[in-house]
Amino acid sequence: MDRIILILNCGSSSVKYRLHNWDKEMTLAAGIVERVGIGGSFCAHELPDRDKITVQHDCPDHRAAIKLVMEQLTHPEYGAISDMSQISAVGHRVVHGGEKFAESVVITPAVLDTFRDLSSLAPLHNPPNILGIEAAQGLLPKATHVAVMDTAWHQTMPAHAYLYALPYEWYEKQGVRRYGFHGTSLLYVAKRAALLLGKDPLACNLIICHIGNGVSLNAVKDGLSYDTSMGFTPLEGLVMGTRAGDHDTAIALHMMEVEGHTPEQMNSILNKKSGLLGITGKYVDRREVQAAAESGDGRAKLAQDVECYRIKKYIGAYAAALGRVDALVFTAGVGEMSSVIRAGSMDGLEFMGIRYDRQKNDLAKTRNGECEISAADSQVRLFVIPTDEERVLIEDTVALMENRYDVHTRFTYTFQHKDYRNALRESGLQRDCAKIPGLAGIVVRPN
């Protein structure tokens, strides 16, 4: 019987999923449940070579969202399988694994308890991750459940990069240090960038810009995570949709004193009411920020400028940390689709050998193909690589089932081979190229 793998990625208000037939190497279904817990929930469900189906259904929590996913997958008209028992294993994305996990693991009660202990470090993500695991285990008790941690990729950072200049006993007793996040995405993109460069992945120096609602930059030295912008929690670093990123921590203490905010209220302000939302007062989505900026909204333009300036500063800092940069890579929703954010982040970096082609940058708006936007005289290769966290989860899950899994330095993924193809993305790229004249000319393939 074919091994059917379900991948679940439970975000703070969403559940992304993919159903994959490992033996036939084909995606059976994929989709996302959005607006979980905030009203107006819906599921966008997609099957290969069929139009996307949208189902409106209220999901007050992640348990309800997981149940809705299972209903779509087994639906008699547009489902992909006849019964949930056909699912052999479930791979779960978990944001925070602390120092406990440097690699993916099969989920046991002890592993789940560790995730609960770490929830205070990722309050927006670990709790929904845990709810998703518990809901899936309840619906699929016989399946193997695997956890893939975002923090695992960054366990190679040296102490001088992950330690804070705080009382050392805080690290010893409470684990206070830089952890970093988005590791599953960064692993995929780093391996693909090495393939496009035609280099051994453990000989590549990269700066990867993961820009979505959450934003982090990663300095990759000789194929290993060397430094990253997110820290003890996902709050530190770049300007994000609703997170403050880098700021003077005394500001929070001052505002708590003068306005009487509790620690819980301040945590909510910094994580949910700051970032682009804090500056603009109303926008989180970059498309809305850009449209408002273009229509003359000064605060929207300021928010965009602040975001790009911060990204540019980190690129410069990481170039200094690495000493040599083989490629600068943009990924995640905004990094893949916003030519404006990419341009604003690279303008002025010509002295570092980073020169982009404006026309190519404007064309690179696809989540289905890898594009090169380098100018002819750029000393650093510039790529836009759509991330595929779910693919990493699929391969780690299967490898754990087959007892052949290992850390990424001793493990080769199928997407590291030059003949690897994602059928769903290939068909999507054909549609994108038909809509965007010139796009096909900047799509880059491994040699």
Please report, for the chain, how many H helices and E strands are present, in that order: 16, 14
Best CA proximity match to 57, nearest among 46, 79, 33, 41:
41
Q: How far is CA 422 from CA 22, 27, 278, 375, in A?
A: 13, 9, 38, 28
**CB distance 95 to 180 below 8 Å:** no
Best CA proximity match to 239, nearest among 273, 264, 214:
214
Best CA proximity match to 69, nearest among 17, 145, 4:
17
Q: Identify the active-site residue in 51, 150, 200, 326.
A: 150
Task: Report the alpha-carbon distance of residue 189 to residue 172 in Å, rounded.
Answer: 32
Q: Check if 150 is active-site.
A: yes
The token duo for 156 is 């190679």
Backbone angles phi, psi at 372, to 5 degrees: -110, 130
Which helix or strand (DSSP H or E) is residue 45 part of? strand 42-46
Strands ordered across the beta sheet of 4-10? 53-56, 42-46, 26-34, 14-21, 4-10, 87-94, 144-149, 105-106
Task: Report the alpha-carbon distance of residue 101 to residue 423 in Å, rounded.
Answer: 32
SS3 content of the chain, % helix, strand, coil (to 5): 45, 20, 40
Helix (H, G, I), strand (E, B) or coil at 423: helix
Looking at the annotation, which residues are catalytic? 150
